[in-house]
Amino acid sequence: MLKEQGINSSFEAITKEDIKRNVYLYMKEKGLQTDTINSRLRAIKAFFNFPHRESHPKNNPLSDIKLLKDCRKVVETFTNEILATNSAIFQILQHVH
């Protein structure tokens, strides 16, 4: 992604701003789904976490980068009126049998 945009992609040169502007926003602008962006961010985070865990002095540019929150579709539920009607019908049916 960085090379596509003409950005220096060497490990030591990448900053938090590079990630935010040229990875995160770039993927959003390309229309990628939230799950896809988060999967790629997780992979990039894992890549940068390795040297950090191995006590290399380079700061991790992804340490403060958060994954996207996915907007979930709200599932319509029954209204109280519909539930009351269905409950009344159920009670009538129980008394019939």
15 in any annotated domain: yes
The separation between the first and the last C-alpha atoms of the chain, rounded to the nearest angstrom, is: 67
88 in any annotated domain: no
95 in any annotated domain: no
Query: What pLDDT score was predicted for residue 86?
Result: 82
Structural domain harbouring 13: 3-71
Query: What pLDDT score was predicted for residue 2?
Result: 57
12 in any annotated domain: yes
**With 70 as the cut, is the pLDDT of residue 90 above it?**
yes
Q: Rounded to an integer, what distance in angstroms lies between the CA atom of residue 36 and that of residue 15? A: 22
CA nearest 68: which of 50, 41, 86, 95? 41
92 in any annotated domain: no
Q: Rounded to an integer, what distance in angstroms lies between the CA atom of residue 7 and that of residue 45? A: 19
Asked whether 2 and 27 are in contact (CB, 8 A), the reply is no
**With 60 as the cut, is the pLDDT of residue 12 above it?**
yes
The gap from C-alpha 62 to its chain's centroid, in whole angstroms, comes to 15
9 in any annotated domain: yes
- Overall number of domains in the chain: 1
Q: Rounded to an integer, what distance in angstroms lies between the CA atom of residue 82 and that of residue 50? A: 55
